[in-house]
Amino acid sequence: MNKFSCVWLSAGLVISQLAYAAEGDCKPLPDVEGDIIVALVSSDANALLHINFADDEVCTFQRRLPDFDIATFVNFHVNVDLDELAVQGVVEGYETWLRVDSEYSGELLLDRATAEGLDLTAAEFLGDNSQLEAADFFIEYVSTFEIGEITLRNVETNIPLLEVPYDHYVDRGSKPEMSAPEAAFLTVGSIGAAVLEELVITLDIANQQMTMTEAR
C-alpha cells in the first residue's frame, strides 16, 4: 500500500524536472563512507542536485530549475562535521528535525525520549517483540509523518528498548555540545532508505532550497 496520502505538486514542476534530468549530468549514486547526500553536497556546494534513490542516480546541474519557486519546500540543514543532512518534519503533530540517513535501511527511527513524548512506547510492555529484526529496538507505527506537503501514514518506526543505551550521535564526528545555532538542528531520529526510495530529492545548496517529491 502506498504510504503517500497527499502530494502537492504542480504539473509544470514535474515536466521541468524531467526535462532537466534528461539534460543534466546524471551518474550512479556514489559508494562513499557516511551519508551519500552529505558527500554530494560537499563535492559541489553550488550545484543543484536531483537525487533519485529508486533509480540509484544523481543528476547535477549548474543552474536553477525554472519552477523551483513553486515546488514543495522542505526546511533542511547540513552539518558536515556530523555527516548529517537534517530535515524538518512533523511526527504525529510534533514538529522536529530528523536526519536523512541513506545508511539506515528502515523507514523511520525515533529516539526514546521523543517516542515516549508521543505515547509510542506502550507496545513495548504489551506485546512480544522477540521477532524484531534488531534486538535492541521494537517496532511501533506512526499514524502520520509529514515532510513539506507530503504525508505518510502508518510508518514503521524503530524505537530503542527502555534500558538500551542509545545515542545516534555516537561516532558521528563532533559531539552534540556545540554552539546554539548548530544545536538548534540536532535531530531526534532518522528517515531511512525504505522511505528515501519512494522520494526524489531536489537540493539547491547555494540557495538553501530543497524539495521532496514522490518517485515516479
Pick from 97, 161, 85, 174: nearest CA to 130: 161
In this predicted structure, what is the pLDDT of residue 106?
Answer: 93
Least confident of 64-78, 108-122, 155-169, 202-216: 64-78
Is residue 136 scored above 90 in pLDDT? no
Number of folded domains that form the chain: 1
pTM for the predicted model, two decimal places: 0.79
Instruction: Give me the amino acid identity at 21.
Output: A
Is residue 19 scored above 50 in pLDDT? no
The total number of residues shown for the chain amounts to: 216
Structural domain harbouring 51: 4-214
In this predicted structure, what is the pLDDT of residue 18?
Answer: 40
DSSP sequence for the chain: ---EEE----HHHHHHHHHHHHHSEEEEPP--SS-HHHHHHHH-TTSEEEEETTTTEEEEESS--TTGGGS-B--EEEETTTTEEEEEEEETTEEEEEEE-TT--SSEEE-HHHHHHTT--THHHHS--TT-SSTTEEEEEEEEEEETTEEEEEEEEEEE-TT----TTTTSSS-S---HHHHTT--SEEE-HHHHTTEEEEEETTTTEEEEEE--
In this predicted structure, what is the pLDDT of residue 9?
Answer: 28
Query: Which CATH number characterizes residue 12's domain?
Result: 2.40.70.10
Q: Residue 212 CB: number of other CB atoms within 10 A?
A: 27
Tell me the pLDDT tens digit for each residue of 55-114: 999 988 766 554 554 457 889 998 888 888 999 999 999 999 999 998 899 999 999 999
- Quote the CA–CA distance of 51 and 28 in Å, as a whole number: 10
- Quote the CA–CA distance of 84 and 172 in Å, as a whole number: 8
Residue with cell 531520529: 189
Locate 168 and state its grid cell: 545516534
Q: Kindly indicate the confidence band of residue 175, based on its pLDDT and cuts at 50, 70 and 90.
A: low
In this predicted structure, what is the pLDDT of residue 14?
Answer: 34
